[in-house]
Chain A
Amino acid sequence: METTYTISVFTEDIVGLLNRITIIFTRRNINIESMIASESEVKGIYRYTIVITVLPERIEKIVKLIEKQVDVMKAFYHVNDEIISTEIALYKISAEAIKQNELFIKTINKHHARIIRVSFDYIVVQKAGGAKGIMDLFNDLEQFGMLEFSRSGRVAVTKPMKTLSTYLKEIEISNSN
């Protein structure tokens, strides 16, 4: 059965490396559901968090191909149970929502979202959470007039405790032998 995996890739900060990684997926006709790039806890090392849904027998092969890239330090994959992850979403709602103030505020509270901007024509709501919660809020807010909606990809940390610097040390030892 196809499973959703979160792949964490630790890389050097190099132009074009992201492309090298994405073509591994496109060549195999795999859709990237979300992808985030940011600096990791180790300075100068970047972390890509990629979410894909594939058959279990494919994931290990894909991760090995990512790790094979010269400028990739390490790549891991995890199923949802092994990570703590979240996404963030912004909902731009018509200011008309004020007319149903009570219901609007109730909806926001129910979803543990918050209002981050109120302007003359619109209100911006922010919510962090899982994909389902984000979409549930979207459905509930639609009645107020959705002007714009934007979702981040998944950011994740893993539950296993081995740190990146431990892996980096291992790579160093392996190369010095």
Chain B
Amino acid sequence: MIHDKYNKEVTGAEALILALLDAGAKDVFGYPGGAIMPIYDALYDYSDKLKHYLVRHEQGAIHAAQGYSRVSDKVGVVFATSGPGATNLITGIADAQIDSNPVVCITGQVASHLIGTDAFQETDVIGISMPVTKWNIQVTKAEDIAPAIAKAFYIATSGRPGPVLVDITKDAQFGKTIYNYKKCEGIRSYIPYPKVNIESVKQAADLINKAKKPFILCGHGVLLSESQKQLLELAEKGNIPVASTLLGLSAFPAQHPLYVGFLGMHGNYGPNILTNECDVLIAIGMRFDDRVTGKVSTYATQAKIIHFDIDPAEINKIIHADVAVIGDAKESLDLLLPLIESTNGKERKEWLKRFEECHQIEFEKVIKTAVNPTTPSIKMSEVIDKFHKLSEGKAIVATDVGQHQMITTRYYQFHDTNTNVTSGGLGTMGFGLPAAIGAKISRPDKQVVVVVGDGGFQMTIQELGTIMDYNIPVKILLLNNNFLGMVRQWQQLFFEKRYSFTELKNPDFVAIAKAYGINGKKITERKDLNGALKEMLDSKESYLLEVLVETEENVFPMIATGASVSEIILE
């Protein structure tokens, strides 16, 4: 009943819980400590409405919240205490900022009279988090808590999403206030959805209609704006090939004949090399990351560039846009689509054939042996290929960072939308396992598999405790090469094989999993691979499958740092 909640005197801590519920939060990832104890005390009475997951390290909480937000339209919520609790969130906040994840972090702070006195567990989390948050605020009064939460949710989710942080002093948590909640619907200084300029849409349509060799680059913005259908329609109407950035994966069905692959440093051959052959480049919700562009001065210089983005600061940041369409991608594409001439699949056949030819080259030189190797040891690529086939591309796949990540994004063909959970911009090792936990809690209906390497797994391995505690059926596919593989690959290629501190002496991972009550298996031979993957996928509970893979496998194709996209090497 509404009337017993509003206009009632409550503590600031209770007001926070009520405000989170009013903002639509259902799950929280957190870790208690001194400065956030009143909030945890209030939570005690609401644990049936607001489900709290006690992680084993604050970094686990923030990555879980990211994974939670990435696979649905829900907002990730995090609790942490002051000082070390708050600073332990920073890596994840930076990751959420660069990858545009809507996350609301609540940190406890020492009482306001102690601020600035070097009190126990006091740190300037507002100052520290400022460069990596979309917005942050310190609240020192109980009555300011609910409005701050309303604003935090609005800012985190609107426009280009991002992480926000609300730091609440202990006296504000203890203080009394009359609870009221008013949803934030606008801030006068903030324009989350710039009005789309119809003239620029017309110019874009004109360029696309005249193009002989148009090429769509699909980014994370397509997922964030939920414009997958519009993108599909644009591609089909114009018979235009679509390639995806790392974070754009799963926005366009990988099985679609117009899907030509994955862009960037370890992406597919065709989409990279043909970036420098297209005549109109249509970038949608992507930011021309250096891992996508390679050498900027030689990037698509022959093409007219159309850049769709909601963030005006992304326009002309890296690549000059001949036509910039600023605004929500869905709204922009809805305006664009009626202006696109239908080709009925007849036009641009020669151009599409170029992608097929490139795919054939990549298939012969890379993919064929990668998914069907004759080497004595197992290759990461064949593991992912088999995992893809067994799961029909329908699992939510979280990855950590490194070779296994690039192999997964290359060989897992995402069938369902919003199923790729990876740390793109920041490249945070340790992201995978907690992000998968969050993803599974967000989407319990989906099979969630995290692919990790032996390095990154050990950076947040403590979250096996969270899996055990809450019985979260996350499947862990550990590709173990006993190396920090990606760094080793670079040492091999660019540092004369001087393998400086990249070889890992590893523990018995299966035994560790078993200590947490998680069933698992290690396999070393190819013949056991299919059966073991099936066993992992069929398990009703969390499961660790460790696959011992080739020690010195390299990820190819590759665009070396500073090289042009057209200089991608295949072997």
> Taking beta carbons and an 8 Å cutoff, which residues of A are in contact with B?
11-12, 15-16, 19-20, 23, 27, 60-61, 64-65, 67-68, 70-73, 168, 171-172, 174-175, 177
Q: Which residue of chain A is the closest to B194 with respect to CB atoms?
A: A174
Contacts of B134 in A (CB 8 A): 70
Taking a contact as CB atoms closer than 8 A, the residue among B131, B136, B191, B316 that contacts A61 in the complex is: B316
Residues of A within 8 A of B187 (CB): 70-71
- Asked whether, in the complex, the Cβ of B190 is within 8 Å of the Cβ of A70, the reply is yes
Evaluate contact between B135 and A70: CB separation under 8 angstroms: yes
A19 to B189 Cα, complex, angstroms: 17
Asked if B2 lies at the interface with its beta carbon under 8 angstroms from chain A, I say: no
Category for how many chain B residues contact A: 20 to 34
A105 nearest CB across to chain B (Å): 49
Q: A82 vs B316: C-alpha distance in the bound complex, in angstroms?
A: 24
Distance of A172 Cα from B190 Cα, bound (Å): 10
Give the docked Cα–Cα distance between A168 and B191 (Å): 12
Q: Is B231 an interface residue (CB 8 A)?
A: no
**B299-311: contact bitstring with A at CB < 8 Å (1 yes, 0 no)?**
0000000000001
Which residues of B are interface residues toward A (Cβ below 8 A)? 126-127, 130-131, 134-136, 138, 155, 186-191, 194-195, 311-313, 315-317
Given contacts A73-B188, A171-B189, contact A68 B131 (CB under 8 A): no
- Pairwise interchain contact B194-A68, C-beta atoms closer than 8 A: no
Contact B317 A61 (CB under 8 A): yes
Within 8 Å by CB of A67, from B155, B186, B312, lies B312
Whole-angstrom distance between the alpha carbons of A172 and B316 in the complex? Answer: 26
Interface SS majority for chain A: helix
The distance in angstroms between the C-alpha atoms of A23 and B131, with both chains bound, is 7
Q: Known interface pairs A61-B316, A64-B312, A67-B312. Does A172 touch B127 (Cβ–Cβ under 8 Å)?
A: no
> Are B188 and A171 closer than 8 Å at their CB atoms?
yes
Distance of B315 from chain A, by nearest CB (Å):
8
The answer to whether A70 touches B313 (Cβ under 8 A) is no
Task: Find out whether the CB atom of A172 lies under 8 angstroms from the CB atom of B188.
Answer: yes
Q: Are B130 and A20 in contact (CB under 8 A)?
A: yes
| A14–B415 CA distance with the chains assembled, in angstroms | 46
Verify A177–B195 contact, CB threshold 8 A. Answer: yes
What chain A residues lie within 8 Å of B155 (beta carbons)? 70
Most chain B CB within a 10 A radius of its CB, from A60, A72, A175, A177: A175
Asked if B135 and A19 sit within 8 Å, CB to CB, the answer is no
Residue in chain A with minimal CB distance to B191:
A174
